[in-house]
Amino acid sequence: MKKIINEAKELNKKYNFFVTINEKAIKGIPIAVKDNICTKGILTTAGSKILHNYYPVFNATVIEKLKGCSVIGKTTMDEFGFGTFSINSAYGIPKNPHDLTRSCGGSSGGSAGYIAASKYSKFAIGQSTGGSITCPAAFCGVVGLTPTYGLVSRYGLIDFANSLDKIGVLAKTVDDASSCLKMIAGYDQKDSTSVDVKLKTKTTKNLKIGIPKEYFEHTDKKIVEKIFKLLDDSGIKYQEVSLPHTKYAVSAYYIIALCEASTNLAKFCGLRYGLSSNPEGKGFNEYFTEIRSKGFGEEAKRRILLGTYARMAGYRDQYYLKAMKVRTLIIKDFKKAFKKVDILVAPSMPTIAPKFTEIKKLTPLQHYAYDILTVAPNLAGIPQLSVPIGTMDKMPIGLQLLSDHFREDYILSFGKEVERWKK
């Protein structure tokens, strides 16, 4: 364990994967956990300054379920999960182990980067709202498993958007991801959205593969070519399918996610925990404003404003309620596709990990557009697996596999096949 802690410290100096390294961890399987998951007595910041001193009084259910594991550290992330590149963090930006000038992706950037760089750790805990596992898995060249919504308890997760948040795994291999998921999956009465379904992991062969054409339209041509070459080389059969509402997914996702996020973040006001100041002589509004102005980063503020606007009287119908309807249509798209095929195969991200200098030039809207391939599966709550399929310009590429709700067995089975492909 000492070896592992020392490695984590060394890696942290170079790559900044951790907000906190827990030197008290002494035995068991080492596990790094995204910093928005509550760990009793271990600093939990969700990447935000507003929680710079927050030591939870209880463990998240996943932490309780990780029997025989020791939390070795809390990984860097975009503040509350608000980002695609882990650059919106109050605790430094994690750097891609394949190229220090590039992003790890986000928002579970620290967890993915650490798994890519560590010689010892086989899996880490991440969390996805709109692609925060698939994105950094693809950019760092590791496996990313986002389970079906409801399969893993969210109790103890610091909410971004409750109807979308899923705790999942970043791992070296599909088998590692699968064995970690086995530990954390399961019904939990403390989370009302938890579903009492047994996790399926049995290997299944001869799965029917579908290619959703909309997912290749906005992707780097070289990545598209590589995917089709691999598919053809492997000799498997596949058919084209269409998910026609994909083009509305980014808008619907950001409206729903930010409406929920703006209410979730209301609780951070400097009253019982987190950042505080001397309230003397201040009215409560003045005090709350002071704490929130100081404690939230720019992206968090932007998202609170957008989310609050979209649920205001007069806009609520045309934004929030309409986005909910779009979400239903997107689910229907997937349900229809899964009548024809067992698995959908698509690029994980539209490009390789961008350089920090490139990210700086992006507008917020271009930022959000990066999520085009991951938000629809997240809106639908279906399981997703991102598997590395080699490199382009020396940077990793990921292939994402999607299946119907609670059909983790399909993507895990096919994921293992993909791992065996000659890249």
Partner 1 sequence: MEKIKIGIETHVQLNTKTKLFCGCSMKDINSVSENSRCCPTCLGMPGSKPRVNKGAIDAAIKVALALNCDVLSEMYFSRKTYFYPDMSKNFQITQYEVPLAKDGKLEIIDFEGKVKKIGIERIHLEEDPAKLQHVGGDISTANYTLIDYNRSGIPLIEIVTKPEFSHPKEVRRFLKKLVMILEYLDVYVPGDLSLKSDLNISIDGRERVEIKNVTGAIDAEKALQLEIVRQKGAIMRGEKIERETRAWLPGKNITISLRKKETENDYGYIFEPDLTKIEISKKWILEMKNKIPELPHHKFERYQKEFDISPELINSIIDDFYLAEFYEKCVKKEDPKLVATWVNILKKILYYNKKSFKEAEITSDIFLKLLKMIKRGEITDLGAEMILREITFNQQEFDKISKKYVKTDDIASIIDGVIKENKEAVFDYKSGNEKVMQFLIGQVIRKSNRTVDAKTAKRLLEEKL
Q: Does 331 bind partner 1 (CB under 8 A)?
A: no
- x/- mask, partner 1, residues 357-386, rule CB under 8 A, reads ------------------------------
Q: What angle do CA 378, 155, 138 make, to 5 degrees?
A: 35
- x/- mask, partner 1, residues 244-263, rule CB under 8 A, reads ---------------xx-xx
114 neighbors 76 (Cβ within 8 angstroms): no
Q: Does the active-site annotation cover 132? A: yes
Catalytic residue among 48, 86, 89, 107: 107
Q: How far is the CB of 118 from partner 1 (least distance, A)?
A: 26
Q: What is the dihedral of CA 269, 272, 278, 279, to 10 degrees?
A: 60
For the beta sheet containing 143-146, the strands, ordered from the edge strand earlier in sequence to the opposite edge, are 18-21, 69-75, 29-34, 123-128, 166-171, 143-146, 384-392, 395-402, 343-347, 209-212, 238-241
Q: From the list 285, 293, 357, 363, which residue makes contact with partner 1 (rule: CB under 8 A)?
A: 285
128 neighbors 148 (Cβ within 8 angstroms): no
How far apart, in Å, are the Cα atoms of 341 and each of 232, 244, 255, 347, 399? 18, 16, 30, 17, 17
Q: What is the dihedral of CA 123, 127, 132, 136, to 10 degrees?
A: -10
Q: Which two tokens stand for residue 47?
A: 């990447």
In three-state secondary structure terms, 236 is coil
Q: Does the active-site annotation cover 394? A: no
Q: Does 242 bind partner 1 (CB under 8 A)?
A: no
Q: Does 148 bind partner 1 (CB under 8 A)?
A: no
Q: From the list 6, 120, 312, 325, which residue makes contact with partner 1 (rule: CB under 8 A)?
A: 312
The site that binds partner 1 (CB under 8 A) totals a number of residues, namely: 46
Q: Does the active-site annotation cover 242? A: no
* CA end-to-end span of the chain: 34
Q: Which of residues 158-197 bind partner 1 (CB under 8 A)?
A: 158-159, 161-163, 189-193
Q: Does 296 bind partner 1 (CB under 8 A)?
A: no
Phi, psi of 47 (to 5 degrees): 75, 10
Q: From the list 25, 66, 207, 269, which residue makes contact with partner 1 (rule: CB under 8 A)?
A: 269
Catalytic residue among 86, 103, 108, 132: 132
Catalytic residue positions, numbered? 34, 107, 132
**Interface residues with partner 1 (CB under 8 A)?**
37-38, 44, 46, 51, 54, 56-58, 60, 154-159, 161-163, 189-193, 259-260, 262-263, 266-269, 271-273, 283-285, 288, 308, 311-313, 316, 320, 324
